Amino acid sequence: MENLNLIDTFSEFKELKNIDRVTMMNVLEDVFRSMLIKKFGSADNFDIIINLDKGDFEILRNRVVVADDELTDKNTQISLSDVQKVGADNEIGEEFTDEVKLSDIGRRAILSVRQSLTSRILDLEKDNVYIKYKDRIGEIVTGEVYQVWKREILVLDDEGNELILPKTEQIPIDHFRKGDTLRAVVIKVEMKNNSPLIILSRTSPIFLERLFELEVPEIFDGLITIKKIVRIPGERAKIAVESYDERIDPVGACVGMKGSRIHGIVRELRNENIDVINYSNNIQLYIARSINPAKVSTIKIHEDIKKAEVYLRPDQVSLAIGKGGLNIKLASQLTGFEIDVYRELDEEDEDIDIEEFADEIDSWIIDELKSIGCDTAKSVLDLSVEDLVKRTDLEEETIKEVVNIIKSEFE
């Protein structure tokens, strides 16, 4: 019965943890041999036979038959009289084999075996999880939210393994509850306190890259190559793609018919704005494409200092900069060049709408100037500082600062 209980213990772990047959048999044999060494001092003369299909095992001890007065080691020898007591006909010098019952060893030894077996199986499972996920770094995994804490989320995969999604690796507007299903990419796997620590991320560029591989067959098949990805999670991302087959439009393939392919990715990333652009070795063309949706007029490249001066029509400047400066920031990260934006003016269109200064002048100041009819740069400069102070509720110091900003655009 005790034998059966031990095998039941093993079977439960094997079914739940999915440890391979050979490994488990080796673990069982090691555990039993350790027990025999503690009990008898040596396990060299023991055979351990494990039958996983039937759910049982045998421990057989092989001893040499000796004359009663020659018995010196009860572990490796057995007296002729003891052999005869059990009805065996082995002669002196022959090998005698009998079964060792766990009940003969003692209940404490049985408990020790069960605890040792449990501990070894748990350690094996931890090692297996570590090895499994070590090989999956950079892959997307799907799991169920099990616990939500302030600094991290505990996620369980389909085998019940614990994964961690830190707050710092969550998209700012992510909101998960217990029971929700989430997708993330494995970015780090390490052993901590003898347990595997598996870290997930939804903010890594690799997560976005893997999503494109899932949604765009041409990327998965290698027909389209992702050259670089930069992103500000939950806000905006830029991805440069290239195709070596002239028949394939890489941008069109990534976006899909009516945006069918990219829409799923955008939803997964909480409506993150994704710009897909054609990669180019021509740095001027590459920079011009990176500032999309703005249309560039001219570009001056300073290759030695990795800097680019981009000139645009006044109505394109705000598009180039983007909300909160995100567009120009990502364009710089994508191309590796520091990009400075300049307004380009011609003789026929020298004036600038006052709204074009929104990135330098506070909106309430612009509204105040527009309320007195100053809706362009020239209309502000046509008035003296004194007139502007009299006609608005603005301080003289503020007026002078605004005038200096506007004047700098015409110098």
| pLDDT tens digits in sequence order for the chain, 411 residues long | 445 455 565 555 555 555 677 777 788 888 888 888 888 888 899 998 877 666 677 889 999 999 988 888 888 999 999 888 888 888 899 999 988 887 777 777 777 777 887 788 788 888 889 999 999 999 999 999 999 999 999 999 998 899 999 999 999 999 999 999 999 999 999 999 889 999 999 999 999 999 999 999 999 999 999 999 999 999 999 999 999 888 999 999 999 998 999 999 999 999 999 999 999 999 999 999 999 889 998 999 999 999 999 998 888 888 898 888 899 999 999 999 999 988 776 544 567 888 888 888 888 998 888 888 788 888 888 888 888 888 888 889 999 999 998 888 776
> What is the DSSP track for 52-110?
TTTTEEEEEEEEEEE-GGG---TTTEEEHHHHHHTT--PPTTSEEEEEPPHHHH-HHHH
Statement to judge: residues 6 and 113 lie in one domain: yes
Domain presence at residue 251? no
CATH label of the domain that carries residue 145: 2.40.50.140
Per DSSP, the three-state class of 153 is: strand
Question: Among all chains, which residue has been given the structure tokens 């039993």?
Answer: 32
Q: Cβ distance 236 to 265 under 8 Å?
A: no
Chain length of the chain: 411
Q: Residue 168 and residue 182: Cα distance in Å, rounded? A: 16
Same domain, 43 and 77: yes
Burial class (CB in 10 A: 0-12, 13-18, 19+), 404: exposed
Domain check: are 189 and 92 in the same one? no
For residues 117 and 144, membership in a common domain is answered with no
Yes or no: say if 66 and 77 are a contact pair by the CB < 8 Å rule: yes
Answer whether residue 222 is part of any domain. no
Q: Does 266 reside within a domain?
A: no
Number of domains in the chain: 4
- Domain membership of residue 248 (yes or no) is no
Alpha-carbon span 115 to 11, nearest angstrom: 15
Q: Which domain holds residue 296?
A: 280-344
CATH number of the domain to which 43 belongs: 3.30.1480
